[in-house]
Amino acid sequence: MKIEIWSDFACPFCYIGKARFEEALRSFTHKDKVEVVYKAYQLNPQAPKVMTGTAYEAFAKSHGTTIEQAKERFKMFTQNAKQAGLTYNYDILQMTNTFDAHRIAKWANTFKKEDALTSRLMKAYFTEGKNLADYNTLATLAEEVGLSKEQALLILNKNEYKDQVKEEQQEARQIGVQGVPFFVLNRKYGISGAQQTAYFKQALEQIWAEENPLQTLDHQDENQACDHDECGF
């Protein structure tokens, strides 16, 4: 089973959705048969590399709301995150561009480290208030999941993996992704949003049952089973 997940490190529901999905996957009997692939998506490609002011001010300006309305919105995100075992700190959050973070994640994938780095980048953004557009920050976070900081800096400075990130964003548009997180299961079903863990569990079981239908073994004695004609009233 293959599951592709389009998400952005700066997306509050992507972090929540990842936590819920992973909880469902941990309890899935056939989890060792599931391939999870992360895909790049940017909620705000025009976001700056350095934020001025506060996250409340940046959100209010970009969404045409008041700072108080932004705080209420963030409070809702924070409450949802807490239920998923996550901590969001909007007082220190830096709303910055995530394109380079996606580039370094694609590089991490060549070492089978994209999942680990994705989690680390999301925690750095939402919990620790890190600037995910800063090269040194990104390289340090890559080092924390077992990658070379020096090589990460080389990748970032040489602008590598730019085309792959753009291709994955284009792919999202082609298949109709309009919001994230977005989960594509076996290129047959799509799940939009940070659904509850139980929903993800149900989806995994359904896909597995469809792909692996029950097979009846051949048997010698054909008359030792009931159907309507043989045993029915």
Q: Tens digit of pLDDT for each residue in 58-92?
A: 999 999 999 999 999 999 999 999 999 999 999 99
87 lies in which domain range?
2-211
Helices (H), 64-217: 67-83, 99-109, 114-126, 135-144, 149-157, 162-174, 197-211
Is position 221 within any domain? no
Query: pLDDT over 70 for what percent of the chain?
Result: 91
Is position 171 within any domain? yes
pLDDT at 219 over 60: no
Identify the sign of the CA torsion 156, 162, 168, 173: positive
- The rounded distance, in Å, linking the Cα atoms of 113 and 93 is 25
pLDDT at 212 over 90: no
* pLDDT classification of 221: cutoffs 50, 70, 90: low
Count: domains in the chain: 1
| Residue whose entry in the numeric block shows the structure tokens 């089978």 | 112
Q: Which helix (H) or strand (E) holds 34?
A: none
pLDDT at 231 over 70: no
pLDDT at 206 over 90: yes
CATH number of 183's domain: 3.40.30.10
- The rounded distance, in Å, linking the Cα atoms of 140 and 163 is 23
Output the pLDDT for position 224. Answer: 59
Is position 230 within any domain? no
Q: Are the C-beta atoms of 18 and 181 separated by less than 8 Å?
A: yes
Give the lowest-confidence range in 28-32, 178-182, 210-214: 210-214
Is position 187 within any domain? yes
